[in-house]
Amino acid sequence: MSDERNHEALADAVNKWSEAVDQKLSKRPERKPEFINTSGIPIKRLYTPLDDAGQDYLEGQGFPGEYPYTRGVQPTMYRGRFWTMRQYAGFASAEESNKRYRFLLDQGQTGLSVAFDLPTQIGYDSDHEMSLGEVGKVGVAIDSLADMEILFKGIPLEKVSTSMTINAPAGILLAMYIVVAEKQGASPKNLRGTIQNDILKEYSSRGTYIYPPKPSMRIITDIFSYCAEAVPQWNTISISGYHIREAGSTAVQEIAFTLANGIAYVDAAVKAGLDVDKFGPRLSFFFNAHLDFLEEVAKYRAARKLWAHIMKERFGAKNPKSMMIRFHTQTAGCTLTAQQPKNNIVRVAYQALSAVLGGTQSLHTNSMDEALSLPSEESVQIALKTQQMIAYETGITDTVDPLAGSYYVENLTREIYDRAYEYIRKIDEMGGAPAAIEQGYVQREIQDSAYTYQREIEKEERIVVGLNRFKMEEEKPRNLLRVDPAVRTRQVEHLQKLKAERDNEHVKTALAGLEKGARGDDNLMPLIMEAVRGYATLGEICDVLRGVFGEYQAINTLG
């Protein structure tokens, strides 16, 4: 029988089945009149080969490790090696965070992921008035190279991969990391890791920006250029959809706005004279593992395919590694509930499972108590063990892309791709991601989605177990981690001692050189490195750049 006759026969069978089901539903209707996922995509009752699931195979694009990488960036994926297991960690002082890192490495963690406190993220030292009440609270306080030396004491940086969630001051923290590694005797060329360094999503979703977009983009391209030669194995940016999703976007918006930001970074680097195949392989991405399990799997597959097409067709990349979207995933912090916090263990487990089934290269699993406090040692251990159980016990790592061929997953992959592509087309028409952000378009789209999602929860159209349904009386959680407020006092004392003992003439000269370079067109990274080596503080370096570039003022998208 021909393919055409097979399709006709299948279509006839599907229609007959649907008619029979509809008749039965007149007596016992489905739970709700229509099923729509979080991205607004209607979900059909049944998916079959008629939904064109195999189109990629017909185009010769259906194999793992081959363009456009829908099925994975490596031909063997986890049969070769597992994803990097990270736990995002950092709190209080460098000494306390160092103890947590050592504990996690002893428990089998395979990469470090550093959380910095809010003053560090926005370029203030611990003794600044803006830092009051925030030092060491949501991450570790890092004021200078001296703190970074303590943070990684006894940890051989040449042997671990380190991710640092830092954006506006990313070049400064990277400089500190490189100098610490050099003092350990390591070559920068052997260092592996990632700086987030994604400023565009700060303007639209997160808020830890310092400088306006134009100078911020210059700093980013300076880092690209410097690292391509000096730190070639370092991922110079982690283009983050995670925070876009945490701010309330849908899955489609998450990958659309993330890849639109990626386009802006690549475009800026190319205009600065960099070869796309020189820096393209060192770009990495960061996605959120949310609640809709199969939508998340399809999202990662769609993102790989879309980025491969963008890099090849828009930017003319020739190196296959430039077209591969390598990404870190974190389970969704915004989905964790303070009510019945042990339920979060289960939420995190299946969110992590979706990331692995979607082909992530690196994974962080949230801890059950994060809706209440920084994670305790016990809860972070459970979170790490969750990854280890997925890797070693479930069997899903034995084959590549286990859900490929699912009519629903394949169709959803295509639907997410098409809808994300349409968003990117609209953003292109506005002049690109920076322009779309300046016009407030991205912010409004995210705000509208966040409002819709919250209203659905409040009206019980979307059920959250333990929050708006299946409630119960609970004991107050115990053993929560609290940061001692005295950490700021100690941090300020260390800072004052450092400033009294360092070579302040060296610092003055280095900062003057940085200011001159910022006013000109010098690459800023060597100048930042010189200031860091002299123990200039994070705040001092950022203040010099503030003086030249100014500070960004957020636009009002609600008025």
Residue 338 exposed, middle or buried by CB count within 10 Å (0-12, 13-18, 19+): middle
Q: For 266, phi and psi rounded to 5 degrees? A: -65, -45
pLDDT of the residue at 60: 45
* The total number of structural domains that make up the chain: 1
| In-domain check, residue 243 | yes
State pLDDT tens for residues 327-365.
999 999 999 999 999 999 999 999 999 999 999 999 999
542 within a domain of the structure (yes/no): no
Q: How far apart are CA 241 and CA 89, in angstroms?
A: 20
Nearest to 380 by CA among 475, 480, 505: 480
Q: CB burial class (10 A; 0-12, 13-18, 19+) of residue 110?
A: middle
- Identify the helix (H) or strand (E) that includes residue 285: strand 283-289
- Closest among 553, 485, 551 to 131, alpha carbons compared: 485
- Kindly state whether residue 494 falls inside one of the protein's structural domains: no
163: CB partners within 8 A, 6+ apart? 86, 111, 112, 113, 114, 193, 194, 195, 196, 238, 328, 362
Q: How far apart are CA 261 and CA 218, in angstroms?
A: 15
Scored b (16 or more CB within 10 A) or e, 534-544 reads: bbbbbbbbbbb
Has residue 544 been placed in a domain?
no
Which residues have a Cβ under 8 Å from the Cβ of 29 and sit 6 or more positions away? none
Under-70 pLDDT residues of the chain: 1-3, 52-62, 557-559
In a domain, 168, yes or no: yes
Q: Which pLDDT does position 558 carry in this prediction?
A: 61
Would 501 be classed as within a structural domain? no
Residue 551: how many CB atoms within 10 A of its CB? 12
Which pTM does this prediction carry? Answer: 0.90
114 located within any domain: yes
Q: What residues are paired with 240 via a beta bridge?
A: 286
What pLDDT does residue 140 have? 95
CA atoms of 496 and 539, how far apart (whole Å):
13
Spatial distance between the Cα atoms of 298 and 404, rounded to a whole number of angstroms: 10
Q: Could you read off the pLDDT of 475-529 as tens digits, one per residue?
A: 777 778 777 788 899 999 999 999 999 999 999 999 999 999 999 999 999 999 9
pLDDT score for 58: 46
Per the structure, the complete domain to which residue 382 belongs is given by 58-458
Distance CA 352, CA 394 (A): 12
| CATH number, domain containing residue 375 | 3.20.20.240
Is 313 within the bounds of a domain? yes
